[in-house]
């Protein structure tokens, strides 16, 4: 990942202003520690902090067209850049950077070229010929982008809020799949697939088509000139990413300079479910596995820094971001600069446990659409900012534009949980990789039930967070929370604590509005509660704290069963399904 900052239409063009923009851009240096760049044209500034993944020697930014009339600062990766270069034969390229195509595509096609890009990206492009500019963000919002406005009429864009929050009167999240044009003076959506419009698909399920699309999504993300690996929790999604990547490396010459053996990484408390599961998968795949440990106290000590970097006070995001933040530092210390991760699968295939209660295929599909659209506020934000805090880039093959089109085009009847047919959550994905002749994973791993990341690193992690919050937030403080925080009022001590830390770094009203609203309870989406009101009884966003899904694992880890609604629940998952008992999970 890189860090971008653009300030366009400044009334002040003094050296002091230039120095201020350099200072603000420096706040993003963790995202791009390899080089810094700044281009100034009259009252417009484009700054860049580079993490060199492709063409490390000559791909410094900002980037230009041939006569330097077009300037662009980009955060991201364009996976089809070589194909696009083939369409731009009349243009002269100065670097081997995948992002340089953006300047030439604009020259050739104007503002409507964005849909041609296959990748994750946020960019700002300045056309000095008429001093117009555009800004755009990838389809799902894998890379972050914020937009702000100054009192002098200037327009600001930045990869992270911290680079513009002090100098803008108002700022907001730049919407995924959108483009802003100064000529039109407004945002418009450039990404308009049928699923985004919430049309109910009817394409029959073809497991081979789905498998091949995912394999292509993983392979294209191996485009790199630096060491890389896979974040492996041992769950279905990360295990499939590792299985496909490992198989491809063994059969091809890609990345031979780093060795054909795939490196995998996992973090957890001693004895955590993730560590055990990840080692099993790594042993099966034959990866070079790196197992990292952290203590609850180490996680607590990092909380303030984590919230500063991820720029949110959402409870589940903070919980999961902290171990990911700690792991990213360890990974970077090994010289690795890029990792693949498994975000997005649960949203696409209805993998969260409350999808068991979806009443029909229409409701299931509409809920998957809503969850994918919100990913930029949750899992994408976590995966990007937790890793970028240490100059590490995370790539997410499940959110590949082509794979997403295929997966979201499947008749959602196939995604319904059907115990009578032996179909558990994400059955269509599991079945696509269920190959007896050449297995990607052992059966018990392929059909392993979902575990929340913040739970999988060790159940006492969440317990430790709650205890920590209880020590710092009194009953009186929580009772009066609505007066202190009338907007997005925290409803638990843990949520209150995260909010106080967030407000210390980002005290302005626009900052708190960039975080999703609603009470911090499990399955807080209206649909989850509509499908089964029992979810409202669970005050905790953790999947394992719900009605018994992870009871056995919790008891094994902590030595005692969890207390659920005032009673210990030793029943297993399948028995609870038969009894019609609901289960909650984080949203």
- Same domain? For 416 and 539 the reply is yes
- Same domain? For 301 and 406 the reply is yes
Single residue among 189, 219, 252 that ends a domain in this structure: 189
- Spatial separation of the C-alpha atoms in residues 396 and 436, rounded to whole Å: 27
pLDDT tens, position by position, 220-264: 999 999 999 999 999 999 999 999 999 999 887 655 556 678 999
Residue found under tokens 């083939």: 86
- Same domain? For 157 and 209 the reply is no
- Same domain? For 137 and 207 the reply is no
- Same domain? For 180 and 211 the reply is no
Contact 115, 139 (CB under 8 A): no
- Same domain? For 367 and 492 the reply is yes
Q: For the chain, what percent of residues have pLDDT higher than 70?
A: 87
What domain range includes position 56? 3-189
Where residue 7 sits, what CATH number does that domain have? 3.60.20.10
Nearest to 339 by CA among 211, 427, 259, 229: 229
pLDDT score at 258: 60
Helix (H, G, I), strand (E, B) or coil at 274: helix
Cα dihedral across residues 219, 221, 226, 232: positive or negative: negative
Where residue 499 sits, what CATH number does that domain have? 3.40.50.620
- Spatial separation of the C-alpha atoms in residues 481 and 160, rounded to whole Å: 27
> Packing angle between helix 296-310 and helix 379-388, nearest 10 degrees?
100
pLDDT tens, position by position, 95-109: 999 999 999 999 999
- In the chain, how many domains are there? 2
Helix (H, G, I), strand (E, B) or coil at 410: strand
- Same domain? For 364 and 346 the reply is yes
- Same domain? For 75 and 134 the reply is yes
- Same domain? For 183 and 237 the reply is no
Q: How confident is the model at residue 57 (pLDDT cuts 50, 70, 90)?
A: confident
pLDDT score at 452: 57
Catalytic residue flag (residue 2): yes
Contact 92, 76 (CB under 8 A): no
- Same domain? For 151 and 199 the reply is no
Over 297-354, what HEC string results?
HHHHHHHHHHHHHHCCCCHHHHHHHHHHHHHHHHHHHCCCCEEECCCCHHHHHCCCHH
Catalytic-labelled residue, pool 2, 99, 369, 380? 2
Single residue among 189, 206, 226 that ends a domain in this structure: 189
pTM (two decimals): 0.91
pLDDT tens, position by position, 188-231: 999 999 999 889 999 999 999 999 999 999 999 999 999 999 99
- Same domain? For 348 and 235 the reply is yes
- Same domain? For 153 and 264 the reply is no
């Amino acid at each position: 990942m890189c860090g971008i900052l653009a300030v366009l239409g400044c009334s002040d063009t003094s050296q002091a202003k230039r120095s201020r923009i350099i200072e603000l851009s420096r706040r993003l240096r963790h995202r791009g520690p390899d080089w810094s760049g700044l281009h100034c044209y009259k009252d417009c500034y484009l700054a860049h902090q580079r993490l060199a993944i492709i063409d490390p020697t000559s791909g410094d930014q900002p980037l230009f067209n041939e006569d330097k009339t077009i300037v662009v600062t980009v955060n991201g990766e364009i996976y089809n850049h070589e194909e696009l270069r083939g369409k731009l034969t009349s243009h002269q390229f100065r670097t081997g950077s995948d992002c340089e195509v953006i300047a030439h595509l604009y020259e050739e096609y104007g503002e409507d070229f964005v849909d041609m890009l296959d990748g994750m990206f946020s960019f700002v492009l300045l056309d000095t010929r008429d001093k117009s500019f555009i800004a755009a963000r990838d389809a799902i919002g894998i890379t972050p982008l914020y937009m702000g406005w100054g009192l002098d009429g200037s327009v600001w864009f930045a990869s992270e809020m911290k680079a513009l929050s002090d100098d803008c009167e108002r700022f907001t999240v730049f919407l995924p799949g959108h483009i802003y044009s100064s000529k039109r003076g407004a945002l418009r959506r450039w990404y308009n697939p049928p699923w985004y419009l919430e049309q109910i698909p009817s394409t029959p399920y073809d497991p081979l088509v789905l498998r091949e699309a995912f394999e292509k999504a993983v392979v294209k993300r191996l485009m790199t000139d630096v060491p890389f690996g896979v974040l492996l929790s041992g769950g279905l999604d990360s295990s499939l990413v590792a299985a496909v990547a490992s198989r491809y490396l063994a059969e091809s010459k890609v990345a031979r300079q780093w060795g054909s053996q795939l490196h995998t990484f996992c973090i957890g408390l001693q004895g955590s479910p993730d560590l055990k599961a990840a080692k099993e998968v790594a042993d099966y795949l034959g990866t070079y596995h790196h197992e990292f440990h952290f203590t609850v106290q180490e996680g607590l000590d990092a909380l303030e820094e984590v919230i500063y970097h991820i720029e949110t006070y959402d409870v589940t995001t903070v919980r999961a971001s902290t171990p990911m933040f700690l792991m990213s530092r360890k990974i970077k210390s090994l010289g690795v600069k890029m990792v693949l991760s498994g975000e997005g699968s649960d949203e696409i295939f209805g993998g969260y446990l409350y999808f068991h209660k979806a009443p029909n295929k229409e409701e299931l599909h509409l809920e998957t659409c809503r969850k994918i659209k919100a990913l930029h506020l949750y899992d994408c934000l976590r995966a990007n900012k937790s890793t970028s805090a240490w100059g590490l880039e995370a790539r997410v093959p499940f959110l590949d534009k082509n794979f997403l089109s295929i997966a979201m085009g499947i008749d959602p009847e196939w995604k319904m949980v059907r115990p009578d047919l032996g179909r558990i959550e994400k059955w269509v994905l599991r079945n696509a990789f269920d190959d007896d002749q050449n297995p990607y994973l052992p059966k018990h791993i392929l059909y392993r039930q979902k575990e929340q990341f913040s739970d999988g690193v060790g159940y006492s992690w969440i317990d430790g967070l709650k205890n920590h919050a209880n020590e710092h937030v009194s009953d009186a403080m929580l009772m009066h929370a609505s007066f202190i925080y009338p907007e997005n009022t925290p409803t638990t001590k843990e949520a209150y604590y995260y909010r106080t830390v967030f407000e210390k770094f980002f005290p302005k009203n626009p900052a708190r509005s960039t975080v999703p609203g609603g009470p911090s309870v499990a399955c807080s989406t209206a649909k989850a509660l509509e499908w089964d009101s029992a979810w409202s009884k669970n005050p905790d966003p953790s999947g394992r704290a719900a009605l018994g899904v992870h009871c056995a694992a919790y008891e094994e880890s902590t030595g005692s069963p969890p207390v659920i609604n005032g009673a210990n629940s030793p029943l297993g998952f399948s028995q609870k399904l038969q009894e019609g008992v609901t289960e909650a999970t984080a949203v």
